[in-house]
Amino acid sequence: MKRVLVCGAGGFIGHHLVSHLKSLGYWVRGVDLKHPEFEASQADDFIIGDLRLLDVVQQVINSGGIIDEIFQLAADMGGAGYIFTGDHDSNVMHNSGMINLNIIDEATKANVKKIFYSSSACIYPEYNQLDPDNPKCSEDSAYPAAPDSEYGWEKLFSERLYLAYHRNHNIPVRIARFHNIYGPLGTWQGGREKAPAAICRKVAEADDGGTIDVWGDGQQTRSFLYIDACIDSVMRLMNSDLIGPYNIGSDEMVTINQLVETAANVANKSIRINHIDGPLGVRGRNSDNELILKDLGWAPNFPLHDGINHTYHWIQSQINNH
Ligand code: NAD
């Protein structure tokens, strides 16, 4: 039985990943500052611990027998309201940097067989994402680097950190750049929620014919990948010989106004939009999936409407239970 460690197992993607790994029969240890918010983890061993601390990282990798593989998803992060205001920059850089510096070094010392690192589309240069209809996010367009947030700079640094350990110490690494992953069991209120969850919540709370606030003019473009498709591609990348970085995202690009329309459609409500000032991020972004399709044979197969349908109804049930 494979023994794996999921760092960030109390978070959105980490929690879904633990459930998936358990369904495959793996032995799973999860570690996080907190338990998953909305349902219990199925991890065989769940450690509450701070991965900025070296002794915690040593303990989760080395205690109780060999860990074969690590999935590193822990990060200090949130949606645009957390990442783009600038108020959390030093925390984001320090906390996530410490986590990655500790984990890759200890994983190397422990001869872990493989490690997955979750980078982000936020590493891509702002200068290629000014035109909402034509953003460029192919893997080879990352340099000359110019991310528009410190979150993106830390991710880029850590990608390079994992690649350097691979070059100098031969530890097998797998790197993905996630593009806006969403779905049920994700944060949907409180300030760290991302656009799909925030918009589903606002639509769910609005009356039919009502108005919701949206940051910016709503013409900024993005793509959104449903969680099941994300987990599928992470597993395929991990089980391949490929290193990356690879984009893991959807190429079904929509404007934020269209995202609102999709949620309103699912809710069967007519919704008006009130555009207000807010933190926005780049003007346009879409996942470029050419490379991952060519190398791994993977393409997303989950339409936005279906994913928003699942997410909306889950958030609606959360609101009803409050
Ligand atoms: P999340 O915030 O739900 O999960 C991250 C988890 O890391 C949280 O549970 C948090 O408590 C934990 N964590 C933070 N600091 C820690 C510490 N010091 N010690 C232990 N645990 C700590 O985020 P997510 O959406 O599940 O994202 C997972 C990974 O994927 C992150 O690295 C994120 O940057 C990356 N990513 C996510 C998206 C997305 O759309 N969700 C997009 C790009 C990249």
Taking the chain (322 residues) in runs of 10, the rounded mean pLDDT of each run is 97 98 98 97 98 98 96 92 91 98 98 98 95 94 97 98 98 98 96 92 97 94 97 98 98 97 97 92 94 98 96 97 85
Q: Is-catalytic flag, 162? A: no
Q: For residue 144, what are the β-bridge partners? A: none
- Structural domains in the chain, sorted by start: 3-181+225-248 (3.40.50.720), 182-223+252-286+303-321 (3.90.25.10)
Q: Is the peptide bond before 144 cis (omega within 30 degrees of 0)?
A: yes
Atom number, ligand 1, closest to the C-alpha of residue 187: 3
> Rounded to whole angstroms, how far apart are CA atoms 57 and 224?
32
Burial 42-53 (b: 16+ CB within 10 A, else e): bbeebbebebbe
- Which residue's CA lies nearest to atom 34 of ligand 1? 75
pLDDT digits (tens, 9 = 90+) for 283-304: 999 999 999 999 999 999 999 9
Distance 212 CA to ligand 1 centre (A): 28
Instruction: State the pLDDT at residue 279.
Output: 81
Instruction: State the pLDDT at residue 14.
Output: 98
**For residue 37, with 0-12 CB atoms within 10 Å meaning exposed, 13-18 middle and 19 or more buried, which class applies?**
middle
Atom number, ligand 1, closest to the C-alpha of residue 10: 9
Mutate to test the pocket of ligand 1, among 73, 124, 187 (most ligand atoms within 8 A of CB): 73
Rg (CA), the chain: 19
The model's pTM: 0.97
Instruction: State the pLDDT at residue 322.
Output: 81
CA 159 to chain centre: 15
* 4 and 114 Cβ atoms separated by less than 8 Å: no
> Rounded to whole angstroms, how far apart are CA atoms 140 and 36?
35
| Ordered alpha helix ranges (H), 7-137 | 12-23, 54-62, 80-83, 89-109
Distance 14 CA to ligand 1 centre (A): 8
Tokens matching residue 80: 């645009």
- Which residue's CA lies nearest to atom 27 of ligand 1? 13
Tokens matching residue 298: 């993977």
> Rounded to whole angstroms, how far apart are CA atoms 259 and 202?
12
Instruction: State the pLDDT at residue 138.
Output: 98
Atom number, ligand 1, closest to the C-alpha of residue 186: 3
pLDDT digits (tens, 9 = 90+) for 153-167: 999 999 999 999 999
Instruction: State the pLDDT at residue 68.
Output: 98
Mutate to test the pocket of ligand 1, among 15, 32, 77 (most ligand atoms within 8 A of CB): 77
Instruction: State the pLDDT at residue 191.
Output: 84
Instruction: State the pLDDT at residue 78.
Output: 84
Query: How far lies 62's CA from each of 1, 274, 288, in Å?
Result: 17, 53, 38
Distance 16 CA to ligand 1 centre (A): 12
3-state secondary structure at position 46:
strand
Distance 12 CA to ligand 1 centre (A): 7
> Which residues does a 6 A CB cutoff place in the pocket of ligand 1?
8, 10-14, 32-34, 50-52, 73-77, 95, 99, 118, 120, 178, 180-181, 194
Catalytic residue among 26, 117, 124, 151: 151
> Rounded to whole angstroms, how far apart are CA atoms 299 and 302?
10
Distance 69 CA to ligand 1 centre (A): 18
Query: Cβ contacts of residue 313 below 8 Å, gap of 6+?
Result: 266
* 53 and 101 Cβ atoms separated by less than 8 Å: no
Q: What are the DSSP calls for 223-270, one per residue?
A: --EEHHHHHHHHHHHHTSS----EEES----EEHHHHHHHHHHHHT--
Burial 181-197 (b: 16+ CB within 10 A, else e): bbbbbbbbeeebbbbbb
Instruction: State the pLDDT at residue 280.
Output: 81
